[in-house]
Amino acid sequence: MVPASACGVRQARNRLARPVQTSMRERQVPRGDGRLSHDLDPQRPGPQDACGVFGVWAPGEEVANLTYFGLYALQHRGQEAAGIAVSDGSGVVVYKDLGLVAQVFDEPTLASLRGHVAIGHARYSTTGASTWENAQPTLRSTKAGTTIALAHNGNLVNTAELQRDVLERGIDSDGATNDTSLVTMLLAGRPDLSVEAAALEVLPQLRGAFSFVFMDESTLYAARDPHGVRPLVLGRLERGWVVASETAALDIVGASVVREVEPGELIAIDADGLRSARFAAPEPKGCLFEYVYIARPDAHIAGRNVHAARVQIGRQLAKEHPVEADLVIPVPESGTPAAIGYAEASGITYGAGLVKNPYVGRTFIQPSQTLRQLGIRLKLNPLRENVRGKRLVVVDDSIVRGNTQRAIVRMLREAGALEVHVRISSPPVSWPCFYGIDFATRAELLANGLDNDGIRRSIGADTLGYVSLPGLIAATEQPKTRLCRACFDGEYPIELPAGNQIGKHLLEGIGRRVATAPPDAPHHATEELVATPGGATVHRP
């Protein structure tokens, strides 16, 4: 175990792993990558979740265990890596690795992580590749002797600008290539300020979506961007406080919901209690896609239960796109609440028509091309007795490329369905997200360039209906002005950088430029990695 006075990172990687801070203990455990794919083909993923963050300040409690269970409740938000940072007041230790929460942590590991404050992270990468260096929480020591650990849900859009700030300050890189590491470096790069004061100076410089939990040796911090794009909630334990991406994570650790962390708010929790400060005026623009797909159905966002919202979306779908049919079936699990609402409003019987294999994607072995050709059968299989001879309404949450829906329609017809009517509980996804959801590029989005009938023909359905944007917004019970709808209408509430210098692997590109450019080369003479509005990257000399 790393001594309490040390600042260290422990991991399960290999003997070549290099220390990130002052000490490290290695453990040789063979592991798979543990990725939980949403699609059959890992090379062509659908919309991937935002990350999950969790933080707890609770003297006398087993904070590492609480964080583990909190991350377990947030596993749906990120499956590439998991990590926990913990402090007993004299030092901060981080344990992180690639894989699912239950693969990264075991009882002996958790038992060794002792302290009164902890933060945790379940990662899906939106900036930076899926590597161990980019796993979170990030960790950084200051010259003043303080240690900062930070976990991030969201995505910044001025990453290149922040990287230049880091370089100009002469801060040494830790090898990571994500926006979270940049923020940690900037916080730690102000040794003359307290962590709280440094945060109030750094946070206003950030543009994009961020819900942060971070900590030093004694204090838990939480901050949310001025638009509140990604959710972040505050909860109360009997002997402490909790912050988490979703209310479901509070429920699992027995915390009561206090309120949401406000957009533009910084919270600090220590032995003196909870205090709050504003670093920016709030301009709420919560992510609309959280209601459609990302959040757990038992979560609450802005006071609205997500399951109830999805059921209402289904009712609205039935109003907007009625059809004569015999059975309403969901694409499990994300289509289930909306299918319930559709059946309720239409009077058509609700039933099961597709059975989901709950373990697909949890394998360490990627399917071969031969197995991949089996298509959706790796993930779903029809209940032939239920669908044979029936006119079906099939309810799903979204269409991105259309591969999944195309395969489902074909499979149901092969199982004997007479008609297949597809209903989607979101409007067409026509624009990429730069705020924390890794959609396909715009060129790959099926709704970009095809009208409704073209999409219907592409997936092979008899009819196709999307819920309208006003109908979706109404189901959230939030005003349109308080929601980010960019993936549906292309109206980005946070200004994107000039030249669209943005993208998941932007910092890898910047790193190459810095490494290869001569010391006296002007900035414009180096290669510039630029992302187009559609999300594809191009190299510009």
Is 4 a member of any domain? no
Taking phi over 0 as left and psi of -120 to 50 as alpha, with beta for the rest, 248 belongs to alpha
Alpha helix stretches (DSSP H) within 237-322: 247-252, 289, 306-320
Q: Are 111 and 216 found together in one domain? A: yes
Q: Are 417 and 361 found together in one domain? A: yes
Q: Are 304 and 280 found together in one domain? A: no
Alpha helix stretches (DSSP H) within 58-177: 63-73, 101-104, 107-112, 159-168
363 neighbors 385 (Cβ within 8 angstroms):
no
Alpha helix stretches (DSSP H) within 38-130: 63-73, 101-104, 107-112
Q: Are 350 and 246 found together in one domain? A: no
DSSP for 363-413, written as a single string? SSSPPPHHHHTTGGGGTEEE-HHHHTT-EEEEEES--SSSHHHHHHHHHHH
CATH (domain of 139)? 3.60.20.10
- pTM reported for the whole predicted model: 0.82
CA distances from 233 to 218, 260, 261, 488, 511 (A): 21, 4, 5, 26, 35
- Tokens at residue 22, please? 């002052």
| Separation CA 201–CA 69 (nearest Å) | 33
Is 218 a member of any domain? yes
Does 484 count as an annotated binding residue?
A: yes
Which range marks the domain in which residue 200 is found? Answer: 52-284
Is 15 a member of any domain? no
Q: Of 7, 51, 417, 486, which is the active-site residue?
A: 51
CA distances from 261 to 101, 136, 247, 280, 532 (A): 25, 21, 12, 13, 33
| Separation CA 50–CA 437 (nearest Å) | 5
Q: Are 194 and 324 found together in one domain? A: no
| Separation CA 426–CA 472 (nearest Å) | 7
Does 7 count as an annotated binding residue?
A: no
Q: Are 329 and 446 found together in one domain? A: yes
64 neighbors 399 (Cβ within 8 angstroms):
no
Q: Are 255 and 339 found together in one domain? A: no
Instruction: Give, as one character, the DSSP assignment of residue 291.
Output: I
434 neighbors 157 (Cβ within 8 angstroms):
yes
Can you tell me which residue has the tokens 């981080």? 94
- Tokens at residue 249, please? 């994570």
Output the pLDDT for position 299. Answer: 96
Can you tell me which residue has the tokens 């990468």? 125
| Separation CA 361–CA 180 (nearest Å) | 27
Domain boundary among 227, 250, 284: 284
| Separation CA 522–CA 477 (nearest Å) | 52
Q: Are 415 and 447 found together in one domain? A: yes
Q: Are 456 and 309 found together in one domain? A: yes
Q: Are 277 and 366 found together in one domain? A: no
Number of domains in the chain: 2
440 neighbors 536 (Cβ within 8 angstroms):
no
Domain boundary among 232, 249, 284: 284
CATH (domain of 442)? 3.40.50.2020
| Separation CA 98–CA 311 (nearest Å) | 35
| Separation CA 496–CA 221 (nearest Å) | 27
387 Cβ contact list (under 8 Å, min separation 6): 327, 329, 353, 412, 415, 416, 417
Is 29 a member of any domain? no
Give me the sign of the Cα torsion angle 299, 247, 277, 198. Answer: negative
217 neighbors 232 (Cβ within 8 angstroms):
no
Phi, psi (rounded to 5 degrees) for 168 = -65, -30
Is 45 a member of any domain? no
Strand-pairing partners, residue 139, are 149
Can you tell me which residue has the tokens 């075991």? 106
DSSP for 435-490, written as a single string? SS-BPPPGGG-TTSS--HHHHHHHHT-SEEEEPPHHHHHHHHTS-GGGEE-HHHH-
Does 225 count as an annotated binding residue?
A: no
* Helices and strands (H, E) in the chain, number of each type: 17, 26
Q: Sheet harboring 265-270: ordered strands across? A: 138-141, 147-156, 208-215, 220-224, 265-270, 273-278
| Separation CA 119–CA 75 (nearest Å) | 15
Q: Are 214 and 65 found together in one domain? A: yes
Q: Are 64 and 200 found together in one domain? A: yes
- Tokens at residue 457, please? 């023909």
Neighbours of 453 (CB within 10 A): 10
| 7 assigned to active site | no
Phi, psi (rounded to 5 degrees) for 463 = -140, 160
pLDDT tens, the chain, 541 aa long = 333 334 455 443 332 223 333 333 333 333 333 333 334 344 444 444 468 999 999 999 999 999 999 999 999 998 888 999 999 999 999 999 988 899 999 999 999 999 999 999 997 754 444 466 778 899 999 888 899 999 999 999 998 899 988 888 888 776 656 788 899 999 999 989 999 999 999 999 999 999 999 999 999 999 999 999 999 999 999 999 999 999 999 999 999 999 999 999 999 999 999 999 999 999 999 999 999 999 999 999 999 999 999 999 999 999 999 999 999 999 998 899 999 999 999 999 999 999 988 765 544 444 555 555 566 777 889 999 999 999 999 999 999 888 889 999 999 999 999 999 999 999 999 999 999 887 657 877 889 889 999 999 999 999 999 999 999 999 999 999 999 999 999 999 999 887 555 544 444 344 433 333 333 333 332 222 222 222 222 222 2
Q: Give the pLDDT confidence of 485-523 residue by residue, as tens digits.
A: 999 999 999 998 875 555 444 443 444 333 333 333 333
